[in-house]
Every structure is written in C-alpha cells, then in structure tokens.
Structure 1
Amino acid sequence: MVIAIGLEGSANKLGIGIIKDGQVLSNPRVTYITPPGEGFLPSETARHHQAEIINLLEKSIKEAKVRPEEIDVICYTKGPGMGAPLVSVAVVARTIAQLWKKPIVGVNHCIGHIEMGRHITGAKDPTVLYVSGGNTQIIAYSQKRYRIFGETIDIAVGNCLDRFARILKLSNDPSPGYNIEQLAKRGKKLLALPYVVKGMDVSFSGLLSFIEEKAETLKREYTPEDLCFSLQEAVFAMLVETTDPVVLNIFLERAMAHTGSQEVLIVGGVGCNERLQEMMNRMCEERQAKLFATDERFCIDNGAMIAQAGSEMYSAGMVTSPWEETFCTQRYRTDEVEVVWRND
C-alpha cells in the first residue's frame, strides 16, 4: 500500500493531490488567471504559486484525511514546463521531503498525464494523443519507453488556442480553450484556414499568423462564434482527420496503424474539448477502435496525476536523489524516461 502526494505547477495551474493505491483521496487545484487579452508570464505565475501553495498543501492533506507521517513518497513535476513556476513548486517538494523524512520522486509531466489517463480509464496499451498548452504529441509505448511518433514542430495546440483567444479578447476564466469551445458551438460560418501536416508532425504557427495578420478584416466578415468554430475544425482536423478523402488517414491514424493499437487515449488540458473527442471517436469507430478520455478533473493539470505516476515509479524502485537530481528542466522529453514500472 503506497500513499503518494503529488505537487504540480508547471504552468498556470497549481495542484496538490494525494493517491492511496490508485484511489484519489484529494486533488485540489487553483489557477492563475490573467485579464482578457493577456497571457501569463513565468515570474508572475511563480509568485502566484508561492502565495497559494502552503494553503493548498494544507487543504489537500485535510481532504485526504491523512497525516504527513502516513505518506510514503513526495512526488513533484520535474518538467517540462515554465522554469520559475516549476522551481517554486520543487522547492516546496524538497522542503517537505526533508521535514517529513520521506523519499522524493521527480516526475515527467507528460508521463503524469499518461499514467493518470491509463489508470482512470482502464486503457491498457493505447496510442496516446497528448494535447495541452505546451505540448502536442502522438505517443505509444514500446520497449520500456513512451515513444513519440509525431508532434508539433512549432507551437502546441493549446498555445495556439490561447493566443487566438487573446486576439478576440476572450476571458481567461476558467480557460481560453474552454471559452473558445463554448463560442464554437454557436458558430455557423466556416472560414477555410491553412493547415500543415508534415509526415507525422503538425504545425500551427502558420495558421495562427494567418489569423493575426487578417484579424481586423476577419472580424468584419465573421462573428467570434464563427471564428472559434473555424479554428477548432482546422486544428482538430490536423490531429484526427479531414473531410478530404485524399488526406483522411493522416497523423493519429498512421500511428495506430504502425503500432497495431486498437485503443486511443486523449490526455492533456485540450483533451477535455467535446468536439475533439467527438471527431476522435468517429475516427475510432471507423477503425473498430475504442476511445478513452477523462473529464476536466484529470485532463487539466493536477497533482493527483503526478502522485499516480510517482507512486508507480516509487514502487518500481525509482527514487530521485534529493541532493543531486531534484532539479527541474523546462525541456524534459517524454521519451527520455525509462518506463521500468511497465512489464508489457
């Protein structure tokens, strides 16, 4: 029986979750929200996390009804993410590990999403679509690694959505992507937008530049609802499928064909989007595959996912040296981690 606490703060979400043998005991989260039209800077985000983390830690422990001495391992996000927020949370993780005399485990943020998704949904060996503010990857497990079959070559899909929301001055509460999704449901007029698929990789920067350069003209011809609808259809088509039969089998379908997987798991903050799930499910049904996805409790960055992955690592004997290796790295590749806890 392993009780693990996970601290996540790689971007504007700060979460602390406690897991007991896979059961989520607590998973509170707070979000740093900026005014409409503005993004979040690393230094300001770090200050937010510093101001909130002690109260959040107390809340997580209280909700879980555990005492610090009962916790077996401290888990924290090692990367990838924004440098200052990552370090702010890592300092607290190191501090409580020393105060409570507990081992510490540095967790890859992307693998936290994957392991939580697999645990919550029951997916065994899925092809993973990881879509978030900072990452867009197609991932499949092979020979003790989570292998990346395709990814964005410039900005992540979530970053594309966030920057588009700034053009329209949409609210950042609860998140730009959520507000785009709600407006898109009322969109009627489809604007043809450029999309770029290069082999197994995608590019979103050209699409975003097109919108930025023509923003004022587009706003006169299309409603905000139309623009949100058009953007979603374009970027999700790059990830899943298009209506053009000539390019129907792009990107994710290629990875599924290569790995032979009959399961697809969507993880990451953008994975909450109902339209993306709908498009993905249609593709899966055509391939007699099964789609797995979670809701906003576990799609969006949270502490429980770090605790879940960390407990898997801890049980497999992966403990981070507190004095030498508990650093953070903004560029921590998913395929850098040896997945010793999986035996398939």
Structure 2
Amino acid sequence: MLSLGIESTAHTFGCSIIKHCRDDRHTSGNEFILSEIRDIYKASAGWGIHPRDASKHHAMVASRILKECLKESKVDIKDIDVISYSAGPGLGPCLRIGAVISRALASYHDKPLVPVNHALGHLELGIKLCNLDNPLTLLVSGGHTMLLVYHKNKWRVFGETLDITLGQLFDQVGRKIGFASPCGNKIEDMANLSNRNVLYSLPYIIKGNDVSFSGLLSSVKKLLEKNSINISDICFSLQETAFAIIVEAVERALAFTENKEFLIVGGVSANKRLSDMLQIACKSHNCSFNSCPLRYCGDNGAQIAWTGAQMYFSDPSFGIKPENAIVDQSWRLDSVFIPWR
C-alpha cells in the first residue's frame, strides 16, 4: 500500500510517500520511505512563527513540494492508495492549508483520506525507525513536552509540561537574544561556546512527573538584560537546568514502569547534550536508549504518511470523505484510539 502524507502543522510544509506492507512493522531502516521533501518557513531575526505568514509560505511551496515528492519516489499520484494529512494539533491557518490540499487531491483522484494526529506521527515513526515495541517515549518539540506510555489502545500521558514546552522555552530565549525561530540549535551552539565554569542558579520546577519552564524563562530573560553576563554561559545554564528537570522526570517514569526501552522524538531530540544526559539515565536503569534519526526528528511528511497508513490498514473506517476533512488545533494525543498495536 502506498501512502502520501502531507505535513503543515507549523513552520514546515512537507510531503512524503511511503510503502506499507503487512509484515514490515518490525523491520529496521527507512527503506519504506520512498520520498521525503519539505520546505521550512523562515521567520525574521528576533521573531517567532506568524501563523498567517507561515500559511502563505505553505500555499506558495505546496505545488512544488508535491511534484518533487512524486518525482523522487517515482510514483504517479494515481497509484497512491491513501492520502493522510496532519489534522492537529498546530497552528490553525497552517493546518488548513494541508487539509485543503489533501481534500482536493483525495476528491479529484477518488482516494481515501485519513486525518492524523501530528504528535502521534512523531511517536509512530520513531518506533518504526528504531524497531521498538512499546518504549517509554519522551516527545519534546516546539508544541509538546510529554512523557508517554502505550496501554490499552491509547498513549497515556505519564507527565507533561504545566505551561510552556521545552521548544517554546528555547525559542523565546533565542528571540530575546536576536535569533529567528526555531532557536533550539542556536541555543545549543551558544551553550557549546561556554567554558562551563559558570552555572547560574535558575528555577528548577518539577511536580511529580509534570514539569514547568515559565519561571526558568523569566529568570533567563532577566539575566540576558545584564550586559556584563556572557550569553554563552547563560545558554549553558539554561540547557543544564532544563535538561536536568526532564531527566529527573524520565528517571521517575523508568523506575515506576520498569520499561526496558526508551525513545526520544521531536525537534528538541536533536540536541546532543540532552541525548547524552538521557543515555546516562537509561544506563542506570538498565534500559536501552533510542533516538529518532536526525533527518526525521523534526516535522516531516513521513510521520504523517506512516501513521495514516497504519490507521487505514488496521481499520478502513479511519478514512473520511473529503468534505469532512477538518482540523483541530488542540487535538490531544491521548484521545486517539489505536487499534493496530
């Protein structure tokens, strides 16, 4: 079965075609991904993602991205078996661009249409690429900071942020410095320039397995207003504090669940320091550490295509009529019924 996935949740517009087979769930590698093409909206320096401007970007690049996707996969649109699109959560104007394009393709070519939860796509693709069964999973991105465990046909939230996400923390600090969103890689680069002799005392807030970063953000912004302080030392202190909070939550979850598989997915999973700290935690709990490959840790069409294919293959009723293709900006991951596991 050939599945076309369209991703348009936030700053990324992506298309991907994957080949789904009945017996390939536990095969490793990414050979099933026939094509993956994306284009990312670039905000101005010091600014974040403006939903309207990002949606205009998506509308402008959509036709080219789709054509390149089909060309790379050497597949004709008529041969596609199912079309999937990111229906939420995300930015409304951006989500609607993907939904309208998917609706038009499904209607014109008479193809089944599957709405996919964007966050679920991160998890399912990561599990597939790392060849895992049922890992304790950490989803960290601009839109999510959640610890999740699969149980009885749903992903259960073991802990999450009480205010802003880890990605939002880095983006807001980065914009204060003068970077353009997304800022996670720039914060990491700045932290790596620190001589690591200075670690500023910053708010460390964890409540059970839930975390909070708003106080940390306020304190870091105040430090940045002091011209006498080295920015690289601030970024180093920010990373060390935020990641220590996350790792503590992960260790508590590992101790409680006794899970022997751990997976980190989402855009922030690209941070090497976070991965290093989590690997140490997993080793102490005799748990295997796994991270989604760098190419697929950010938003991409493959996560939508793969998840949509699993949904439709397990139950064709997941397919909807094109006129019913709606979006939900606040679609919770733990509300999605999962019959294929």
Deviation at 1:170, TM superposition (A): 2.4
Q: Tell me the residue number matched to 2:233.
A: 226
CA distance in 2, matches of 1:278, 1:123: 20
Q: Tell me the residue number matched to 1:140.
A: 149
CA shift digits 1:257-293 (9 cap, x unpaired)? 3322111100000011111110000000111100110
Q: Tell me the residue number matched to 1:248.
A: none
Structure 2 unaligned residues grouped into runs of 5+: 25-31
CA distance in 1, matches of 2:324, 2:252: 37
| Counterpart check, 1:260 vs 2:254 | no
Deviation at 1:100, TM superposition (A): 1.3
Q: Tell me the residue number matched to 2:268.
A: 270
CA distance in 2, matches of 1:150, 1:133: 17
CA distance in 2, matches of 1:142, 1:180: 35
Kept after mapping to 1: 8 A contact 2:224/2:231? no
Kept after mapping to 1: 8 A contact 2:224/2:234? no
Q: Tell me the residue number matched to 2:327.
A: 328
Deviation at 1:323, TM superposition (A): 4.9
CA shift digits 1:108-131 (9 cap, x unpaired)? 111100010000011211000000
Q: Which segment drifts farther, 251-260 or 303-312?
A: 251-260
Kept after mapping to 2: 8 A contact 1:171/1:179? no
CA distance in 1, matches of 2:256, 2:69: 42
Deviation at 1:171, TM superposition (A): 4.5
Q: Tell me the residue number matched to 1:12.
A: 11
CA distance in 1, matches of 2:44, 2:320: 40
CA distance in 2, matches of 1:69, 1:323: 17
CA distance in 2, matches of 1:139, 1:31: 28
CA shift digits 1:280-336 (9 cap, x unpaired)? 000001111001102331100000010010110010114232256421001111111
Q: Which segment drifts farther, 254-263 or 227-236?
A: 254-263
Q: Which segment drifts farther, 288-297 or 327-336?
A: 288-297
- State the identity as a percent: 39
> Scaled by the length of structure 2, what TM-score is found?
0.93
Kept after mapping to 2: 8 A contact 1:80/1:108? yes
Q: Tell me the residue number matched to 2:29.
A: none
Deviation at 1:215, TM superposition (A): 2.4
Q: Which amino acid aligns with 2:321?
A: P
CA distance in 1, matches of 2:324, 2:154: 20
Q: Which amino acid aligns with 2:18?
A: I
Consecutive aligned runs of 4 or more in structure 1 exceeding 6 Å deviation: none
Q: Tell me the residue number matched to 1:246.
A: none
Deviation at 1:75, TM superposition (A): 0.3
Q: Tell me the residue number matched to 1:61.
A: 70
Instruction: State the aligned residue count.
Output: 328
Q: Tell me the residue number matched to 2:183.
A: 176
Deviation at 1:36, TM superposition (A): 1.6
Structure 1 unaligned residues grouped into runs of 5+: 242-250
Deviation at 1:96, TM superposition (A): 0.4
Q: Tell me the residue number matched to 1:126.
A: 135
Q: Which amino acid aligns with 1:12?
A: H
TM-aligned CA distance change 1:325 to 1:257, over 3 Å: farther
SS at match of 1:124: coil
| Counterpart check, 1:305 vs 2:313 | no
CA distance in 2, matches of 1:283, 1:213: 31
Deviation at 1:149, TM superposition (A): 0.8
TM-aligned CA distance change 1:17 to 1:323, over 3 Å: closer
Deviation at 1:14, TM superposition (A): 1.1
Of 245, 248, 259, which residue of structure 2 is paired with 1:238?
A: 245
CA distance in 2, matches of 1:171, 1:94: 32
